[in-house]
Amino acid sequence: MHTLDELGQLFSQKFSVNHFPDQPQGLYEPNNYFLSIGGKRIRPLLVLMANELFGDIHEDSWKVAFALELMHNFTLIHDDIMDDAPVRRGKATVHELYGASTAILAGDVMLIRAYQYLNQIDISYLRVINEIFNQTSTEICEGQQYDMAFEERTDVKLDEYLKMISLKTSVLLAASLKMGSIIGGASVRNQDHLYQFGLNLGIAFQIQDDYLDCFGDPEKFGKMIGGDIKKNKKTFLAIHLQNVANETEKHELQQLKSATEEKKVERTLAIMKNNGVDQWAWDLKQEYFNKAMYHLEEIAVISARKKELKYLAEFLISREH
C-alpha cells in the first residue's frame, strides 16, 4: 500500500503527459494551460485509494483516475464561464484568456477525452463504470443548474441547498471512491459504504468551507473573511440564519444588503453569533463527518488498510482551523 503522499506524487507523474494532440492548437492549448495550473487532484487520489483498500492498484484505476480528473476540469471550465469568474487557483480562467467560445469547446473536448480514457478499461466492468460516470456527470450539471437557479431566489430551504451541494460536489467524490473500489474487486456492500463515505465527507467539507468563510482565521484561511456575505451568496450559514433570526434581525439583514461591505460583514457575523449559527454549523459539519467515518468503519477490510483514507478525511476536514 502507498501513503497519500506517495500516491499524490505517482499520480502527478503519470498525469503530466500530453492528453491532447498538438493541432488544432487553438483548441488544445487552452486545455493544456488549464491542466497545468494544477489543483488538489483529490478525485483521482480517491480512485486509487479505494482500489488499494481491496488490492493492488490495477492499471485501469489510472485510466479512471485520468477520466475523473479531466471530467472535473471540464465542469470547472464551463462553470467559470457561467459564473463569469476571471480567476481560478490564482490564474486566469480559460474564457478570460481565450474567450468564451473557445472555453465552451475546450470544455467539451475535455469531457470527450475523459470518455476516451474510460473506454480503455477492462470490458468486464466497462458498462458499470460508464454508468456511474454518466450518472455522476449528469448530477453535477443538475447541481450547477440548481445553484444558478437559487441565485434568483430568496426562499431557498436548507434541504434544497443540501441537495444542490451534494449534486454539485459530493457525488463526484463518492463516485470516484466507488469506481476505484469496483476495480479493486469490492463487494457491492463495500462499494456502497465507500460511496456514502464520500458523499457525507463532501457535505462536511462544504459546510466547513461555508463556515471558514465566516469564522475562519484569515491568516490560515488564505483569503479574506466574509466573501460569501459580501456577494449575498447562499451558504449553509446564510440559509440557517434566515431560519433562526428574529424579525428585528431579519429586518436589519435586509437593510444591510445596501450597506458598505465592511459593515455588512461585521453585522451579519454578529447576528450569526447571537443566534449560535457558528456553533450550529460546526456541529452540523461534525455530524456529516461522523456519518462519513461510520461508513468507512463499516467497510469489511482490516482497519490498517483504511489508515490513509482516514488520514485524508481528517486532513480535509481539519483544514485551516
Contact residues for its own copies, defined by CB under 8 A = 23-24, 26-27, 78, 81-82, 100-102, 104-105, 107-109, 111-113, 115-116, 119, 123, 126-127, 130-131, 134, 137-138, 141-142, 144-146, 148-149
In angstroms, how far apart are the furthest CA atoms of the chain? 63
| Closer CB to its own copies, 71 or 173, in the complex | 71
Smallest separation (angstroms) from its own copies to the CB of 252: 32
| Closer CB to its own copies, 32 or 145, in the complex | 145
Residue 139 grid coordinates: 448530477
Smallest separation (angstroms) from its own copies to the CB of 283: 30
Smallest separation (angstroms) from its own copies to the CB of 49: 26
* Three-state helix/strand/coil letters over 162-224: HHHHHHHHHHHHHHHHHHHHHHHCCCHHHHHHHHHHHHHHHHHHHHHHHHHHHHCCHHHHCCC
Smallest separation (angstroms) from its own copies to the CB of 75: 8
Which residues sit opposite 92 in a β-bridge?
Answer: 87
CA distance 123 to 188: 18
Residue type for 299, please? I
CA distance 219 to 224: 9
Q: Is residue 201 within 8 Å of residue 184, measured between CB atoms?
A: no
| Closer CB to its own copies, 53 or 81, in the complex | 81
| Closer CB to its own copies, 108 or 298, in the complex | 108
| Closer CB to its own copies, 156 or 296, in the complex | 156
| Closer CB to its own copies, 155 or 219, in the complex | 155
Smallest separation (angstroms) from its own copies to the CB of 259: 29
Smallest separation (angstroms) from its own copies to the CB of 140: 9
CA 234 to the chain's CA centroid: 17
How many C-alpha atoms does 17 have within 13 Å on its Cβ side? 10
Give the 3-state secondary structure of residue 319: coil
Smallest separation (angstroms) from its own copies to the CB of 145: 4
Give the 3-state secondary structure of residue 91: strand
| Closer CB to its own copies, 26 or 218, in the complex | 26
Residue 280 grid coordinates: 450550529
Smallest separation (angstroms) from its own copies to the CB of 46: 21
| Closer CB to its own copies, 136 or 268, in the complex | 136
Residues making up the chain, counted from first to last: 321
The DSSP result for 231-274, as a single string, is TT---HHHHHHHHH--HHHHHHHHHHTTS-HHHHHHHHHHHHHH
Give the 3-state secondary structure of residue 102: helix
Return contacts of 146-154, CB within 8 angstroms, 24+ apart: 148/82, 150/234, 151/234
